[in-house]
Amino acid sequence: MVEIAPGIYVHAGAPEQANPGNDDAIANIGFIIGDDAVMVIDPGGSAVEGEQLHAAVRAVTGRPIRYVVLTHVHPDHIFGAVAFRADHPEFIGHARLPGALAQRGDYYVKTLSRDLGAAASGSEIVAPTHLVAAEEAIDRGNRVVDIRAHGPAHTDNDLTLFDRRTATLWLSDLLFVERIPVIDGSIVGWIKEIGAMTHVAAQRAVPGHGPAIVDWPAAAEPELRYLNTVLAGTRAAIRQDIDIAEAPRHVALDERDKWLLFDDCHARNVTAAYKELEWE
Amino acid sequence: MRLTPMVLGIGVLLATAVMAPASAEVDEAARAARWANLRSQIFGDRALQDGAGVLTIEAPDRAEDAALVPVKIGIAGELRRDIAQLYFVIDDNPSPLAGRFAFGPAADPSAIAIRVRVDDYTNLHAVAETKDGRLYAVARFIKAAGGCSAPAGKDQALAMQRLGQMKMTMKGSPRLGEPLEAHLLVSHPNNSGMQMDQVTRNYVPADFVRTIRLRYNDRPLLTMESDISISEDPSLTFAFVPSVPSGAIEAAVEDSSNRHFERSWPVKVEPGT
């Protein structure tokens, strides 16, 4: 856990897929301490990681945990929520998060148990209690955090946050650094949403995967390059009648040595882009 | 048709199986037992011959995305002439019989490509039935998708907004008497009705494409009876043989909510070909 700016703590996740050795602690998670209350931003990928995060909060402050933000539906960000239930916080999510949880929650419970084995025990889906449809400012005592609900991008239920006191932009999985981005919403939408965020004047940003802290907006460049390369390459494949099964072997292969876990995720990114773009 | 209820019936019969905790290592014997159970439900005690050499399944070794795995079933040799219909089974899916394809006289039954959901480590089976009732089967194993991949769609709002739209692409120019590959897309969320809302403990209502009927110039081309194992925005690649200078392909789609969608596309053979 590192304090990346006054009162903002981040734990950088391992650049790995979920496995029994990492307790699904693969995403960047953390918390912001206000004068009256603590806001947790992503409780982590398992009950075990959630409990560790809870202990990390308690190691630096006794202030109540009033907010737990679930930045999107992915398991590595949300399964730790159960560890914060006893604090009775508001669980904050995108207005489309309940729908995504309904569609995927049951499956994610099963796959977490498949991927982590015994380490998944206790992990469960926690429902958001407070939904954000557009933008909302939350004040935790002289500390206002602006929460923004995005259009379909990384997923169709992404939230980002901006801490006014330190001008810190918490992008969660709208920004991947070093680890290959995962397209699970809309490639066209993601380029648009992250492009808009590059105009936010921030001192620093927190990506969902990669280092705990990065320069902003410089850190968006590799991701934007990757997404634009996949976009152009997939459109070309569709024009050339290369079918969806073949396309991953043709598109954006020059990105291969630029990302961690490329072989795990690139093919599915191209497939997802193809499925979206073939309707254009 | 006696098979129509069976397509959906299998989903119901095995609904309890999917609720059991997924085990990481299902051994060969368990897979064989599962297939024995499935084949007897679908084909009764009819004999299945080895389809090696005439029937192939092309699929990735691992499902990259649980929501969308491209699969192509190839039909070769004399089976191309003899085939009446094709079954595709994803053994460990909640509703294993993913699709049944009946070829009409306008079809060129050399290959079918679809996109399917894959929930777990599983065998895939393709079974061809000939006009005189012989059955040929082949199998292929596929590993489950990892990470944050899920069988559900990525942009639920868009899927509903575009509901029922169709798109047909033909590969190359139509020529009389020569097989032409075509690709049909139908926009539909294809919700399985098996996803439980963890919050309300209710199920997301089932809403999926049940039948796609294709005709070329008023002659049956291909009928696909499908189910919840088909990906969002069902996709069907097939081939047919243009037989007139100016004809049309018609698609009639019916879903589990009894919606009907229809569309047709002209098929014009280039003059002088």
The larger pLDDT score, comparing residue B13 to residue B203, is at B203
Residues of A in contact with B205 (CB under 8 A): none
**Shortest alpha-carbon distance between residue A165 and chain B (Å):** 33
| pLDDT of res. B13 | 41
Give me the residue from A125, A264, A278 closest to B198, CB to CB: A125
Local confidence band at B15 (pLDDT 50, 70, 90 cut-offs): very low
Instruction: Identify the residue among A96, A109, A111 best suited for mutation to test binding to B, counting B beta carbons within 10 A and taking the highest.
Output: A111
| pLDDT of res. B201 | 65
Task: Locate A74 and state its tokens.
Answer: 């992915």
| pLDDT of res. B199 | 63
| pLDDT of res. B205 | 79
Given a cut of 90, is residue B96 above it in pLDDT?
yes
Q: How far apart are CA B14 and CA B41, in angstroms?
A: 11
CA distances from A195 to A135, A160, A227, A240, B28 (A): 18, 14, 11, 28, 49
Q: How far apart are CA A51 and CA A45, in angstroms?
A: 11
Global model pTM greater than 0.90:
yes
Return the residue of A nearest to B191 by Cα. A103
| pLDDT of res. B7 | 44
Task: Locate B131 and state its tokens.
Answer: 């006009």
pLDDT in tens, B235-257: 999 999 999 999 999 999 999 99
Given a cut of 80, is residue B18 above it in pLDDT?
no
Cβ separation of A245 and B70 shorter than 8 Å? yes
Cβ separation of A103 and B195 shorter than 8 Å? yes
Which residue has 């919403």 as its token pair?
A185
Instruction: Identify the residue among B120, B148, B149 best suited for mutation to test binding to A, counting A beta carbons within 10 A and taking the highest.
Output: B148
Cβ separation of B157 and A275 shorter than 8 Å? no
The residues, ordered by sequence, that sit 6+ positions from B32 with a Cβ below 8 Å of its Cβ are none
pLDDT in tens, A62-106: 999 999 999 999 999 999 999 999 999 999 999 999 989 988 998
Cβ separation of A127 and B162 shorter than 8 Å? no
Residues of B in contact with A26 (CB under 8 A): none
CA distances from A74 to A33, A43, A44, A46, A108 (A): 24, 12, 10, 11, 8
Give me the residue from A114, A152, A278 closest to B155, CB to CB: A152
**What is the CA A200 to chain-centroid distance, rounded?**
18
**Shortest alpha-carbon distance between residue A269 and chain B (Å):** 9
Give me the residue from B120, B147, B155 closest to A264, CB to CB: B147
Residues of chain A falling short of pLDDT 70? none
Give me the residue from B68, B147, B233 closest to A271, CB to CB: B68
pLDDT in tens, B208-244: 999 999 999 999 999 999 989 999 999 999 999 999 9
Q: How far apart are CA B187 and CA B91, in angstroms?
A: 26
Cβ separation of A152 and B157 shorter than 8 Å? yes
Local confidence band at B27 (pLDDT 50, 70, 90 cut-offs): confident
Local confidence band at B147 (pLDDT 50, 70, 90 cut-offs): confident
The larger pLDDT score, comparing residue A191 to residue B119, is at A191
Residues of A in contact with B233 (CB under 8 A): 275
Average pLDDT, chain B: 88
Cβ separation of B147 and A265 shorter than 8 Å? yes
Cβ separation of B154 and A98 shorter than 8 Å? no
**Shortest alpha-carbon distance between residue A4 and chain B (Å):** 27
Q: By CB neighbour count within 10 A (0-12 exposed, 13-18 middle, 19+ buried), where does A145 fall?
A: buried
Given a cut of 70, is residue B151 above it in pLDDT?
yes
Q: How far apart are CA A34 and CA A17, in angstroms?
A: 33
Cβ separation of B147 and A182 shorter than 8 Å? yes
Number of residue pairs across A and B with CB atoms under 8 Å?
A: 131
Residues of A in contact with B147 (CB under 8 A): 17-18, 182, 264-265
Local confidence band at B196 (pLDDT 50, 70, 90 cut-offs): low
| pLDDT of res. B146 | 79
Q: How far apart are CA A40 and CA A212, in angstroms?
A: 15
Cβ separation of A75 and B148 shorter than 8 Å? yes
Return the residue of B nearest to A113 by Cα. B22
Return the residue of B nearest to A151 by Cα. B155
Given a cut of 60, is residue B12 above it in pLDDT?
no
Residues of A in contact with B157 (CB under 8 A): 96, 152, 156
